[in-house]
Amino acid sequence: MAPESEVNSSREVRNLIRSNQNQKTLRKSVESWIPRFLFLLAFLSVLTTVGILIILMTETVEFFKTVPLLDFFTGTVLKPLSQTPEFGILPLVMGTLVSSGIALLVAGPIGIMAAIFLSEYASRRVRSILKPALELLAGVPTIVYGFFAFTFITPLLRQWIPSLEATNILSPGLVMGIMIIPMIASLSEDAMQSVPEAMREGSAALGATKLETALKVVVPAALSGIIASFVLGVSRALGETMIVAIASGSSKNFSFNITESMQTMTAYIVEVTSGDAAAGSTVYYSLYAVAMTLFVITLTMNVIAGKISRKFREVY
């Protein structure tokens, strides 16, 4: 007969093998469920988007049962709460595009120059300090930006522009530009950092200066990422609410005069949802029509920008 120690040893080996088999079975079971769980999370985000679209489209259809489609998209007068209401969206579109255009004019050059400095001139230590400090601007609450525009930027500008109204589209546009600088600068710098070092060395070997290399080699090579940063920045400006709601006023002017009070689409939605419009009224449904228009504008801009980015994309 085998010694008792050998019997115990064989039992321990069998138990160990059985334990390993059970662990493998459990691991395979967990691994088989992970893709399903991840798919569920991805599907949940898609389902949320579809739900938002369904709500927007349903309520927008209710609005256009009362207001003609042509009058809405070509009307230059918006008086939703008057006794003879008019629902022309062009004043809101004008306010949105003007404020976003001002923001882009501010953030575009500053963001690109900051990205060039961080990518091409700053040392690693300086970059590690400046980039997080720059990105802190993105963490400031937008309502703080709004009061900053209303209580500081507007009084400051009125010293040089006496015709500037107390609420105007210029101040929030400038402040929105400051707000999206970190987004453009950070994403553009990441795109520039991804350009191979060999391209910089080749440019320097041909006698180009550091600035020439940055502007004529690095920026064109990173153009796809730079365009993406601009699109994200503009999309952020288009959807901004609190800054324009506080500093731009609620005058629905169809004008190119940036010193006047103008209203954006997001600010109009805030105004309608503040309680002035009864649920189920035409004014109430108009906020969904405006929101749907803003959604379509943003989606169209992103699709066009995606095509441009793919056209200029460089693969290294």
Round to whole Å and give the CA distance between 265 and 248: 12
DSSP structural state of residue 139: G
Which tokens is 201 given? 């060395």
Q: Identify any residues that bridge with 86 across adjacent strands, giving them in sequence order.
A: 79
Residue type, 94: M
CA dihedral 38, 41, 47, 48 (to 10 degrees): -150
pLDDT above 80: residue 124: yes
Q: Identify any residues that bridge with 78 across adjacent strands, giving them in sequence order.
A: 87
pLDDT above 90: residue 105: yes
Round to whole Å and give the CA distance between 3 and 202: 77
Q: Identify any residues that bridge with 79 across adjacent strands, giving them in sequence order.
A: 86
Query: At what angle are helices 223-238 and 282-312 packed, to 10 degrees?
Result: 170
pLDDT digit string, tens, across residues 14-59: 666 666 665 666 676 667 777 878 888 888 888 888 888 898 888 8
Which tokens is 154 given? 């507007």
Query: What are the residues whose beta carbons fall under 8 Å from the beta carbon of 236, sequence distance 6 or more?
Result: 179, 180, 183
Q: How long is the chain?
A: 316
Residue 87 has phi, psi (to 5 degrees) of -125, 60
Q: Domain 73-312 carries which CATH code?
A: 1.10.3720.10
User: Tokens 């200029």 label which residue?
Assistant: 312
pLDDT above 70: residue 238: yes
Among 285, 309, 301, 307, smallest CA distance to 59 is for 285
pLDDT digit string, tens, across residues 247-288: 888 788 888 888 888 888 988 888 888 766 677 778 888 888
Round to whole Å and give the CA distance between 169 and 175: 10
> What residue ranges do the domains of the chain occupy?
73-312
Round to whole Å and give the CA distance between 78 and 58: 22
Q: What is the pLDDT of residue 172?
A: 92
User: Tokens 């290399």 label which residue?
Assistant: 213
pLDDT above 70: residue 166: yes
Q: What is the pTM of this model?
A: 0.81
Q: How many CB atoms lie within 10 A of CB 11?
A: 10
Cα→Cα distances 36→27, 33, 48, 66, Å: 15, 5, 18, 45
How many C-alpha atoms does 109 have within 13 Å on its Cβ side? 5
